[in-house]
Amino acid sequence: MRITYLFDPLCGWCYGAAPALDGLTQLGDVTLELMPTGLFAGEGARAMNDQFAAYAWQNDQRIARLTGQPFSEAYRTEVLGGRGGMFDSAPATLGVIAVRVTEPARELDALKALQRARYVDGRDNVSLAGVSDILESIGLPAAAERVRTPDEQLMQDYRRSIDAAQLDMRRFGISGVPAMLVGEGASRHLLPGNLLFGRFDLLVSQLKAA
């Protein structure tokens, strides 16, 4: 069974889905394909200000209650409390792509590390330097170097991946993430993203029924 997982590394709900993704990777008959959407990159990026920080924290508390995923005080003060910065997922997305092309078996590890760095450790994952440092810290030096000084090939891979994800979002009428497409080719179909936040056995049964 092939699952295409559409996400954005700065999406709090995608971070909340991490336990379900871990469970899916333990299923022997599942192939998980990560597809970053660029939802909060480019035109989707925005400045970090008081209004947005308050909205994000309120939303994060709801995610924490539903999923058990931690959102630390360090995140609240160092990340949401930072002013003059950007809420821009392009660097973190570039980090995921860099791992895909250097050590593809660790792509999910990299995503989880980038999420944990932000939401638990209160670290910068919205700059190339910050993302590079995070990848370096988990033993991915080749990807870290690619992110530190992105070359044209990496940027092409980034744009190609984002374009493919956004095409799928339009094709399946997806407006937000996380989202899951199950199957391959013309047989792919959309499963509700909220399955990632409920009982894992129900998620598995829905996947098997699909």
Q: Report CA-CA distances (Å) from 117 to 42, 71, 106, 186.
A: 22, 11, 16, 37
- pLDDT of the residue at 205: 93
Instruction: State the pLDDT confidence band at 82, using cuts at 50, 70 and 90.
Output: confident
Range of the domain at 58: 2-209
Q: Count CB neighbours of 210 within 10 A.
A: 15
* b/e code 124-136 from CB counts within 10 Å (16+ = b): bbbbbebbbbbbe
CATH number at residue 159: 3.40.30.10
Q: For the chain, what percent of residues have pLDDT higher than 70?
A: 100
Tokens linked to 22: 């871990």
pLDDT exceeds 90 at position 112: yes
Mean pLDDT of all residues belonging to the chain: 96
Mean per-residue pLDDT for 55-84? 95
The reported pLDDT for the residue numbered 141 is 98
**ω before 150 within 30° of 0 (cis)?**
no
Q: Are 5 and 180 in contact (CB under 8 A)?
A: yes
Tokens of 181: 């497409």
Q: Given the DSSP bridges, would you call strands 46-47 and 86-87 parallel, antiparallel or unpaired?
A: antiparallel
Per-residue pLDDT, averaged over 59-75, amounts to 97
In the chain, how many domains are there? 1
Residue 77 has pLDDT above 90, yes or no: yes
Specify the pLDDT at position 52: 94
Q: Can you tell me the distance from the alpha carbon of 171 to that of 153, in angstroms, rounded to the nearest whole number?
A: 27
What tens digit of pLDDT does each residue of 129-153 get? 999 999 999 999 999 999 999 999 9
Question: Among residues of the chain, what percentage have pLDDT more than 90?
Answer: 93
- Two structure tokens written together for 155: 């940027």
Q: Rounded to the nearest 5°, which phi and psi values hold at 60?
A: -65, -35
Amino acid found at 106: R
